[in-house]
Chain A
Amino acid sequence: MDRPLRLISANPVDRLARIVEGLLVVASQPLSVEDLAVAADDDAERIETALRLLADRYGEGRSGIVLERVAGGWAFRASREAAEACARLFERPVERGLSAAAVETLAIVAYLGPCTRPDIARIRGVAADSVVAGLVERGLIAEAGRDVEAAGAIRYKTTPLFERVFGLESLAALPRLEDLGGETDEIRERLEAVAEKRPA
């Protein structure tokens, strides 16, 4: 709606966009609209307008820097065009060598978190200690208080870094658990089928 205005350099929204741009360059983590509003000393609605302006300017195919909405805020990243070159120069240590057990654990914490290691072990059927420690070290999950009912066991939740690495706007961007496989009825039928084959 404000698009034609961005060509006019004296436009106050354009000026605000430049300030937001500066804030995002300095930040090493996604900034929420609220963070930006406080820092720029402006109101959230105008910040959103400025962000739309910037997202348009810093879009894939237009710029080597891309503005994306991720982990509950806004952050700059390299364009996909530059990915190959980036990969030659930089590692992505956070997700390098993430085992299947680690991704499963991550899924459990993302959907059921905050949850304890015994909660994870109950679902996966094996002890979760080392996998959880590895995920904490990578910064993908973090401690989130203690479970008073479970003898003070530490509870874990996913971090904003998790959302960022997986390119999620928020945890709400995960597919609904009900939409994923695991129909109880179907599994029960299969169990019964196995039981029937068993000679009485």
Chain B
Amino acid sequence: MIVRELELDLDAFEGPFDLLLTLVLREELELAEVDVVEIVLSFCSRLEERGRLDLDACGEFLVLVAALLELKARGLFPEEELELSELEPEEAAEELARRLADYRRMKEAAAWLSERLEGESERFFRLGPAPLAPRIERQLAPQDPERLGAALRMLAAEPPSVSLGHMALRFPPVSQFLERFRAVLRRRRRFDFASEVAGLSRIEAAVAFLAMLELRKAGEVSLEQASSFAPIRVTRAGVEAREQEWIARSA
């Protein structure tokens, strides 16, 4: 029989004994909530089932349970750990006897009280509502009504409306640039895109670029750019063709 594999079914834990010990040592399980008696009972019933006394298992079990009990005791009285560990065995026995005596006296006192209560069960008396609760008298310091008024006025005022201006991107319409470019091209045959949009915002320049593409799509202009990032030249449609013809002719 292997003690560490002893299956436990406790209120606070279910699984093998070994896992319980691991959880306790890792402080993932509160030992105060573990009923050690239940563990002992589980072990005893398992022992009984086997029908023969396994001394090795008993010894191992005793060591483990003793350690568990010591841990539990320390957990219950953490502040006394140091104080008790310094005691000699005789002193410890004396201390234990003193504590047991204290507890026994209190048990006797409790028995006396129980007896007394039994004897006093014939005493009926009137109890007012919350008879002995101390009465709470709340006293406010003198208050200035003007301050209350000021506070209320502050609350009653309409809060300033929050600007949502930054939330919307305002694009100028593409048509605006279409008109503008057409007007330019009526005066001149070609223009540099960059110089035409100089001084505009990034958004406006983008819209202007779209307008330029729109004109190209409609066949109103032709575009040329010598290399990447070189100036884009916009030429009125037809002009280029005529120039090409002219070049071809002059060649």
Which residues of A come within 8 Å of B, CB atoms?
28-29, 68, 75-78, 80, 82-83, 86-87, 90, 92, 94-95, 98, 100, 103-104, 106-108, 110-111, 121-127, 139, 142, 159-161, 164-168, 174-175, 177, 180-184, 187-188, 191-192, 195
Which residues of B come within 8 Å of A, CB atoms?
32, 76-77, 93-94, 96-110, 112-114, 116-117, 119-129, 131-133
List 15 A-B residue pairs with CB atoms under 8 Å apart, sorted by A's residue number. A28-B131, A75-B125, A76-B125, A80-B123, A95-B117, A107-B107, A122-B77, A164-B125, A167-B123, A168-B116, A174-B109, A177-B109, A181-B105, A181-B108, A195-B93
**What 4 pairs between A and B have smallest CB-CB spacing?**
A28-B128, A83-B122, A182-B105, A182-B104
In the bound complex, do residue B128 and residue A29 qualify as a contact, i.e. CB atoms below 8 Å apart?
Answer: yes
Instruction: State the CA gap A110–B101 with chains docked (Å).
Output: 17
In the bound complex, do residue A78 and residue B127 qualify as a contact, i.e. CB atoms below 8 Å apart?
Answer: no
Instruction: State which of A28, A98, A181, A191 has its C-beta within 8 Å of the C-beta of B104.
Output: A181
Instruction: State the CA gap A100–B106 with chains docked (Å).
Output: 12
Instruction: State the CA gap A83–B120 with chains docked (Å).
Output: 10
In the bound complex, do residue B103 and residue A123 qualify as a contact, i.e. CB atoms below 8 Å apart?
Answer: yes
In the bound complex, do residue B97 and residue A188 qualify as a contact, i.e. CB atoms below 8 Å apart?
Answer: yes
Instruction: State the CA gap A103–B117 with chains docked (Å).
Output: 10
Kindly provide the distance from the CB of A23 to the nearest chain B CB, expressed in whole angstroms: 14
In the bound complex, do residue B131 and residue A167 qualify as a contact, i.e. CB atoms below 8 Å apart?
Answer: no
B122 contacts across to A, CB distance below 8 A: 80, 83
Instruction: State which of B112, B119, B121, B126 has its C-beta within 8 Å of the C-beta of A28.
Output: B126
Given A87-B124, A94-B127, A188-B94, 13 more pairs with CB closer than 8 A: A29-B132, A77-B126, A80-B123, A83-B123, A107-B107, A107-B113, A123-B99, A139-B132, A164-B125, A166-B113, A167-B120, A184-B101, A191-B96
In the bound complex, do residue A100 and residue B110 qualify as a contact, i.e. CB atoms below 8 Å apart?
Answer: yes
Instruction: State the CA gap A130–B106 with chains docked (Å).
Output: 19
In the bound complex, do residue A104 and residue B131 qualify as a contact, i.e. CB atoms below 8 Å apart?
Answer: no
In the bound complex, do residue A92 and residue B101 qualify as a contact, i.e. CB atoms below 8 Å apart?
Answer: no
In the bound complex, do residue B131 and residue A161 qualify as a contact, i.e. CB atoms below 8 Å apart?
Answer: yes
A104 contacts across to B, CB distance below 8 A: 106-107, 110
Kindly provide the distance from the CB of A88 to the nearest chain B CB, expressed in whole angstroms: 11
Kindly provide the distance from the CB of B132 to the nearest chain A CB, expressed in whole angstroms: 5
Kindly provide the distance from the CB of B32 to the nearest chain A CB, expressed in whole angstroms: 7
What residue in chain A is nearest B94 (Cβ atoms)? A188
What residue in chain B is nearest A140 (Cβ atoms)? B132
Given contacts A139-B132, A166-B113, A182-B101, contact A188 B127 (CB under 8 A): no
Kindly provide the distance from the CB of A47 to the nearest chain B CB, expressed in whole angstroms: 21
In the bound complex, do residue B132 and residue A180 qualify as a contact, i.e. CB atoms below 8 Å apart?
Answer: no
Given contacts A121-B76, A182-B105, contact A103 B127 (CB under 8 A): no
In the bound complex, do residue B102 and residue A123 qualify as a contact, i.e. CB atoms below 8 Å apart?
Answer: yes
Given contacts A75-B125, A77-B124, A83-B124, contact A191 B112 (CB under 8 A): no
B32 contacts across to A, CB distance below 8 A: 127
B104 contacts across to A, CB distance below 8 A: 181-182, 187
Instruction: State the CA gap A19–B100 with chains docked (Å).
Output: 52
A76 contacts across to B, CB distance below 8 A: 125-126
B96 contacts across to A, CB distance below 8 A: 191
B114 contacts across to A, CB distance below 8 A: 100, 103
In the bound complex, do residue B117 and residue A108 qualify as a contact, i.e. CB atoms below 8 Å apart?
Answer: no
A106 contacts across to B, CB distance below 8 A: 110, 113
Instruction: State which of A78, A111, A121 has its C-beta within 8 Å of the C-beta of B124.
Output: A78
Instruction: State the CA gap A125–B76 with chains docked (Å).
Output: 8
In the bound complex, do residue B121 and residue A92 qualify as a contact, i.e. CB atoms below 8 Å apart?
Answer: yes
In the bound complex, do residue A107 and residue B106 qualify as a contact, i.e. CB atoms below 8 Å apart?
Answer: yes
Instruction: State which of A87, A168, A183 has its C-beta within 8 Å of the C-beta of B101.
Output: A183
B129 contacts across to A, CB distance below 8 A: 28
Kindly provide the distance from the CB of A62 to the nearest chain B CB, expressed in whole angstroms: 16
Instruction: State the CA gap A80–B125 with chains docked (Å).
Output: 11
Instruction: State the CA gap A103–B121 with chains docked (Å).
Output: 15
In the bound complex, do residue A180 and residue B109 qualify as a contact, i.e. CB atoms below 8 Å apart?
Answer: yes
A164 contacts across to B, CB distance below 8 A: 125
Listed residue (A28, A183, A191) with the most chain B CB atoms within 10 angstroms of its CB:
A28
